[in-house]
Structure 1
Amino acid sequence: MTTTAKRPSIALTKDDIRPTLVRMTLPMLAGMLTLMTFNLVDTFFVSMLGTEQLAALSFTFPVSFTLISLAIGLSIGTSAVIAKALGAGELSAARTDGQVALWLSAILVAILALAGYLLTEPMFTAMGASASVLAYIRQYMDIWFIGAVLLVLPMVGNAVLRAAGDTRTPSLIMAGSGLVNAILDPILIFGVGPIPALGIQGAAIATVISWLVGSVLIIHLLVKRDLITTSAITLAEAIAVCRKILRIGAPAAGANMLTPLAMAVLTAIMASYGEAAVAAFGVGARLESIACLVVLALSMTLPPLVSQNFGAGLLHRVQQAYRDSGRFVMLWQFAVFVVLAALAPLLAKLFSSDSEVVRIICWFIWIVPLGYGLQGVIILTNSSFNALHRPGSALVLSIIRLFVFYVPLAWLGGQLYGVTGLFVGCVVANIITAAIAWRWFNRTLHTTKQERG
């Protein structure tokens, strides 16, 4: 047994909370920044093919993110289960959990990807894609669905590493995969030498190859570090582990899959304003993934700390970590908004020469990021609920945010003031939901402390 398997890289139940979160989050942030930047490269190169191709990529986002959300949910369940086991000193159980999590995730994603492959045309037609745009969607998504299993393996494998307190290695794997994607994108999209220009299809192939690289690396590392067992597991053991993971992972996946569902509804609403609006909305969504990187990194590093301290009964450390993280993201995301607002025209023109697309991207940047700090509080609350093994609360919070406030208020704003009104509705929804989330989690933690005496 290796030293890495015996104890977490960082003592999550003992080290000072703020420095611990910084040490865990910085490498994760670096890896995610690299990965997200290279993913944005996809949008940049595809935008050079034309507005229809850019619109096609925008249409694919809600559907592709549905599978990504399933993978995220399963990784949340995996991290919570393994981190709690490590916090309680159950090392053998943690290794068994890791192996079963990889198999379970691969099987579930394969099933969903097959369904998506078979239902591609009716799904995107229902979202408002025209026949010409649908042809480009098919070129991209057929390949994307075929390689989808390779997407989930690095995500769940990285969750195993994070549960043990190692965030540096996952960041390197993400960065490496993103680099492969960025190098292959222009080669496969536009062609080089004997390699033909494959257009939007080339972007999908580059993505799948980058996933393959990440899958090989993560499985090799997990086996080498003895973080997953390589011994045979009985069916009864596998079922028991699946239940543990799915008890958290299924609601977490459901909560995450609500986001692309809401995005699909918003994309359909945007389609009523024309293909330029859809293309601009797609660019805005990808810029959002960069703008919220710190929040996303914290949402991956905070849960292992919460889960291990929850398993060890140190709820005061859980409360401090949650409050410090929430206050930080509010200040950070306001600073991000100021920078984005100043750079809006430059960023918009980087992704399109179409004046209408540029105009809508600018309005997106000037309005929607105002709510990113509040959105960050909601995301951290969701991840903390899952880490406390309360996935039902996280699911209900997601439903409240997206379908009680976000979509209805965005639709109402659009009806009253057009595209800009839709963007304002998104911000108002985040304000209301963040207030609910902050109060709800703190009350839950207080109740848990009283129950434990």
Structure 2
Amino acid sequence: MSSSDLLTTPVRTALIKMTLPMMMGIVSLMLFNLADIYFVGQLGATEMAALAFTFPVTFSVVSLAIGFGIGTSAILARLIGSGRHEEAAVLTTDNLLMTLIVVLCVSALAHALITPLYHWLGADTEQLPFIIDYMGIWWFGAAFMVTNMVASSSLRARGDTKTPGIVMATSSILNVFLDSILIFGWGPVPAMGIAGAALASVISWGCVFLVLVWVLYKKYQLIVLIKPDLMRIISNWRRVMKIGLPAALSNIMTPIAGGFLTAMVAAHGAEAVAAFGVGNRLESLSLLVCLALSMTLPPFVSQNLGAGQFERVKIAYYGAVKFALVWQLLIFVLLLLNRGSIVDIFTDTDAVKVPLSMWLMVVPLGFGMQAVIFLSASTLNALHQPLRALRISLIRLFVFFIPLAWGANMLLGLQAMFIAFVVANTCAASVAFYLVRQQLKRGLDSLH
């Protein structure tokens, strides 16, 4: 879609056209990660454990990239919506350049600290060489990965979700192909083991980087050849980071809270942890549509905000919330009716089947509320209210989720803990909806 389509096309039609390609992109990213896990798992338990140790660091970088992308989309889409295309092009150019420089500097520092960092995280002498092999290469491509997310957010701000979706799908296919060759070797290509998985990712990210930059430059003229001006670059970077850093912090909190919840579940045994892990993966799949919607809603909101079309902003948000509640209720019913078959797919161990079946009967009931939470947070970011969006995450995780889950688990056990998840999501969703509604009722006066 073009930028003008976001301002004139019926709201529902515009969001559907933008969300469908994003779903394809998200599925592709899931396959990208699963390919690494699958192929490295064939190397052995030590290599698999080494890859698991890399997740906290790589997820932190991904969270940072998502935050940068959110900030980019919010600022850029508002400029485009208000017709300030030249300013938008300069901001895009400066933002990509600064992102590349910052992440390259961080990568250089992190590369030098690989050994002490993973000693601190608990890696043993058997796992550490494999971690060094993997992360030593991975850090060289981190700048491409983060810049790609920012470039994709720039395209979404322009109204184009199709190109990022296609590019992400193509990169996932390329990653799978390269994984099989570089990890195990083929013909003249030597087997690189776990280092091959990292190199496959870096090559895929590098190819995506070239494509996205070309599209931004050639098709949309959002990259311009302009003389670097340090003060201008820093000023544009600060505009983006004002929204991007709180968004990144919000994303990083989720795995931290997840660690606390996993520790609570672990008190019920390894089988309960296994069931909880399966449940988390089912949760990601169940929320896929609404997650894609949460990535397409912000550019729509920001562009219409820039154009002064506040009524379309309200229609989009309230329509997205209604859709999320109905859609996730349908998903809950499907999971509930088919829980026996789903449990049999994932495990044949009775000790895992019981808690997993319990999870399927309870937790998905709160998915609609969970969708309302992240749709509200993404809308507040698009409305240039990042601290309110961060407040939603803090309230959800540390006021409702962890305290209620801990209390229920201590007093009544695992099933009560799962019920607490639903109650916590409901309470947090109510707060999130109230915050957005109050912002919209004020006519967005405080945004100017």
Q: How does the TM-score come out when normalised to structure 1?
A: 0.85
Quote the residue 1:145 is aligned against: 139
Deviation of 1:105 after TM superposition, in Å, equals 2.1
CA offsets 1:18-73 (integer angstroms, 9 cap, x no match): 01111111122222223323433334444555666556555543432211111111
Quote the residue 2:244 is aligned against: 249
Deviation of 1:89 after TM superposition, in Å, equals 0.9
Deviation of 1:130 after TM superposition, in Å, equals 6.7
Amino acid of the structure 2 residue aligned with 1:203: A
Q: Identify the range of structure 1 (439-448 vs 275-284) with the bigger mean alpha-carbon deviation.
A: 275-284
What secondary structure is seen at the aligned counterpart in 2 of 1:448? coil
What secondary structure is seen at the aligned counterpart in 2 of 1:442? helix
Unaligned runs of 5+ residues in structure 2 are: none
Quote the residue 1:378 is aligned against: 373
CA offsets 1:269-299 (integer angstroms, 9 cap, x no match): 5667777766665555444333322122111
Asked if residue 302 in structure 1 is aligned to residue 297 in structure 2, the reply is: yes
Conserved in 1, the CA contact under 8 Å of 2:3 and 2:80? no
Task: Label 1:124 to 1:354 Cα distance change in 2 as closer, same or farther (>3 A).
Answer: farther
Q: How does the TM-score come out when normalised to structure 2?
A: 0.86
Q: Identify the range of structure 1 (207-216 vs 121-130) with the bigger mean alpha-carbon deviation.
A: 121-130
Amino acid of the structure 1 residue aligned with 2:232: E
Amino acid of the structure 2 residue aligned with 1:102: L
Which residue of 18, 25, 30 corresponds with 2:24? 30
Quote the residue 1:218 is aligned against: 212
Deviation of 1:84 after TM superposition, in Å, equals 0.7
Amino acid of the structure 2 residue aligned with 1:429: A
CA–CA distance in structure 2, aligned partners of residues 266 and 378 of structure 1: 19
Name the count of aligned residue pairs.
447
Asked if residue 160 in structure 1 is aligned to residue 164 in structure 2, the reply is: no
Amino acid of the structure 2 residue aligned with 1:407: I
Asked if residue 327 in structure 1 is aligned to residue 322 in structure 2, the reply is: yes
CA–CA distance in structure 2, aligned partners of residues 430 and 187 of structure 1: 44
CA–CA distance in structure 1, aligned partners of residues 51 and 331 of structure 2: 25
Which residue of 291, 299, 303 corresponds with 2:286? 291
Deviation of 1:101 after TM superposition, in Å, equals 1.4
CA–CA distance in structure 1, aligned partners of residues 177 and 413 of structure 2: 39
Quote the residue 1:91 is aligned against: 85
Matches within 5 A, 1:154-233: 154-193=148-187, 195=189, 198-225=192-219, 226-233=221-228
Task: Label 1:288 to 1:143 Cα distance change in 2 as closer, same or farther (>3 A).
Answer: farther
Conserved in 2, the CA contact under 8 Å of 1:52 and 1:275? no
Deviation of 1:409 after TM superposition, in Å, equals 3.2
Q: Identify the range of structure 1 (90-99 vs 417-426) with the bigger mean alpha-carbon deviation.
A: 417-426
Conserved in 2, the CA contact under 8 Å of 1:63 and 1:260? no
Quote the residue 1:400 is aligned against: 395
Conserved in 2, the CA contact under 8 Å of 1:28 and 1:168? yes
CA–CA distance in structure 1, aligned partners of residues 324 and 427 of structure 2: 17
Matches within 5 A, 1:83-122: 83-114=77-108, 116-117=110-111
Amino acid of the structure 2 residue aligned with 1:67: V
Amino acid of the structure 1 residue aligned with 2:60: T
Asked if residue 78 in structure 1 is aligned to residue 72 in structure 2, the reply is: yes
Deviation of 1:216 after TM superposition, in Å, equals 1.4
CA–CA distance in structure 2, aligned partners of residues 241 and 188 of structure 1: 40
Amino acid of the structure 1 residue aligned with 2:15: L
CA–CA distance in structure 2, aligned partners of residues 48 and 418 of structure 1: 37
Unaligned runs of 5+ residues in structure 1 are: none
Amino acid of the structure 2 residue aligned with 1:105: T
Root mean square deviation of aligned Cα: 3.5
CA–CA distance in structure 2, aligned partners of residues 350 and 125 of structure 1: 37
Deviation of 1:268 after TM superposition, in Å, equals 5.4
Deviation of 1:412 after TM superposition, in Å, equals 3.8
Amino acid of the structure 1 residue aligned with 2:71: G
Asked if residue 437 in structure 1 is aligned to residue 432 in structure 2, the reply is: yes
CA–CA distance in structure 2, aligned partners of residues 432 and 173 of structure 1: 38
Conserved in 1, the CA contact under 8 Å of 2:12 and 2:316? yes
Conserved in 2, the CA contact under 8 Å of 1:248 and 1:386? yes
Deviation of 1:429 after TM superposition, in Å, equals 2.1
Identity %: 44
Conserved in 2, the CA contact under 8 Å of 1:62 and 1:261? no
CA–CA distance in structure 2, aligned partners of residues 140 and 421 of structure 1: 41
